[in-house]
Chains A and B, each alone.
Chain A
Amino acid sequence: MAEGRDESIKKLFDAKSAKVNTNRGEEYFADLYVKCQKRLGELKAMPATGGGVDLRKVLEEDGFERRDFLKWASATTAMLMLPASFTPLVAEAAEVMNRIPVVWIELSDCAGNSEALLRSDGPKIDEIVLDIISLEFHETLQAAAGHQAEKQLEEALELFRGKYILFVEGAIPLGIDGNFGTLGAKAETFKDHLLRLADGAAAVVAVGSCATYGGIPAAAPNPTDAVGVMDIVKGKPVINIPACPANPANIVGVVLHYALTGSVPELDSLLRPKFAFGYRIHDNCERRAHFDAGEYVEEWGDEGAKNNFCLYKMGCKGPMTFNNCSIIRYNESVNWPIGVGRGCIGCSEPDFWDKYAYERPMANAHIKAPTGGVERTVDQFGLGLLTAAGIGIGIHAAASVMAGKKNSDEKDA
């Protein structure tokens, strides 16, 4: 008990040590290099699971040249905050990623993260790399259905016990004993399903904001009591890749990091990899100069909007959101929310739907009173307080004046 308390007190004081350590010194990286080489050698010796697709061939068929792939590899190396000398290793790791079995499940979700991987204008290298990972089970993508699918899952769990990475998309409803969401003929609840699959996993990766913190299913009033993976799965490495949808580049980054080093990347206090969530959107935003200048879009489509002014007054939450989409963008740098002219809604932060996504500056947003009832903006609340104080003072002043001065001298006299 006492230990638990110490732990929670300790946590209180290093809740978010966001320091991103990009340079750990030559010695560290030299060691890591040797370690990675060894690890890749081991992986190569292993048989490719799944279909054993060859990345080079797939890339060729999709019209990518070797050069494109190497460009991608060097960008990914930079994203993982590794020195440029690691580029060949990253390229190699991408080629042997199909040795790492992956089980992907969907719980309370919209399949948006899977969609983000699948529905780009043309497959990007990130997505192709994800395509060839050894996806042993993915309800949405696989051909099998019903009992057949269940059998496939059981086989995969058996065969790759202790080795597979479990990807979870979607929140876990806990209300009415978890019966808001059940799977299969035996009506296993999402919670039991997750716990059973997590048990045999090497690591659990929560993809998207719902799997991470409960996301939209957990938004007020959270009718199903939805929570995220890290609230349920204990005693396993959990990696969170929030955002709505999670950026395929970051998903690849985590798997690559695992393939390359055999370990999970460095995480922040919310279990998000620091390479992706160590920086604030606002600090790398292309509209930041307009923020500092006080040039804001005042309404959609106005002169400011045409001139790419800052979206702060349209409710941009970049100043309170940590994510790398202002650096790497989406779909291999095609664009990102602020780039297309709408504000950030803080989708990679906890409680984003209730606390970030209202598309107004916080001062104008309707915030629930602590009692849960009335919704008022912070400023209305403040002005209310001020008015109450003013009325009180007014009454007191008027009473004082009417009662007249009764000073202590008379009393003494």
Chain B
Amino acid sequence: MKFDYKKIERMTPAMRIIHWANAICMIAAIITGLYIAHPYYQSFIAEGAVDKYVMAWNRWVHFISAIIFDVTSIVVVYLYFFSRFEKPYRKLIPNAKNVKEFGEVVLNLLTLNRRKRFDSTHSDSFNTTYFTIFHLLLFFMLFTGLQLYVHGLESGESSIGAWWPAFLHITTDWTIPVTGGTLMDVRIAHHITMWLIIVWIVFHIYYQIWRTIFWEEGDIAIVFGGSKFVKDKE
């Protein structure tokens, strides 16, 4: 039996850039975040404290990746609603069609690809939901992280103006009561959510590879080249 493969464009260059920016920042945030939590290497450099700046660099890298996350998150929210070709929010509405598709994708995974009764051309509702969970976790990281950050701006001033700490208080103070009432709870929540994100990443990578192997549609290429291939029967 012969069939052709049809090329389907799935991710624009902008989306791929965001993906890899997020991936790199995530690794950087985890490495530096774990250092901030519990400095796991010592600075043996025989120089005065003024010259080393090891924790400060770790925090700097952590905050820079945080700021990149800030920007990509805003763009991602925009794309969820206004993307040129795949508007992910449509797959999130729990209507009969999406719920059925979600169930079918889970069954596909559990039956080890014995059963595949959904259209894998475009992002399915399971995948979209899974990505949405990631973005929500990342948002939680942003809000708790910025709350931890604003503790150091208690004068109400910052190098970019007084609006910045004021803005951070308005947008992140809710994390204190929500996580348990103390500043430490915010920090615990920030740390635990990191682990949730790591677990998320592990399954994400596994699932993308698994799909590539079993569906034989080159899914892994989406994030590099922007497109995958589906079999064109005829």
Please list the residues of chain A having a beta carbon within 8 angstroms of any beta carbon in chain B.
11-22, 278-280, 282-283, 289-296, 298, 312-313, 317, 319-322, 346, 349-351, 355-356, 361-364, 367, 378-379, 381-383, 385-386, 389-390, 393, 396-397, 399-400, 403, 405-409, 411-413
Contact = CB atoms under 8 A, between A and B. Distances in A.
Give the interface size class of chain B: 35 or more
A379 to B, nearest CB: 8
A12 B152 CA distance: 20
Given A294-B55, A382-B195, 14 more contacts: A11-B177, A12-B177, A14-B170, A16-B173, A283-B154, A289-B49, A292-B49, A292-B55, A313-B38, A320-B151, A320-B184, A355-B185, A355-B188, A382-B191
A346 B3 CA distance: 69
B173 A349 contact: no
Given A13-B173, A400-B112, A406-B114, A349 B184 contact: yes
Contacts of A16: 169, 173, 176
B194 A382 contact: yes
B156 A19 contact: yes
Given A381-B195, A382-B195, A393 B202 contact: yes
B52 to A, nearest CB: 4
B203 interface: yes
A15 B174 contact: yes
Nearest to A279: B154
A12 B49 contact: no
A21 B156 contact: yes
Main SS at interface, chain B: helix
B6 interface: no
B182 A406 contact: no
B42 A363 contact: no
Contacts of A403: 112, 114
A17 B169 contact: yes
Interface of B: 1, 3, 34, 37-39, 42-43, 49-56, 58, 109, 112-114, 116, 150-152, 154-156, 165-166, 169-170, 173-174, 176-178, 181-185, 187-188, 191-192, 194-196, 198-199, 202-203, 206, 210, 213-216, 231, 233
Nearest to A292: B56
A279 B153 CA distance: 9
A288 to B, nearest CB: 10
A385 B152 contact: no
Given A12-B173, A382-B195, A290 B182 contact: no
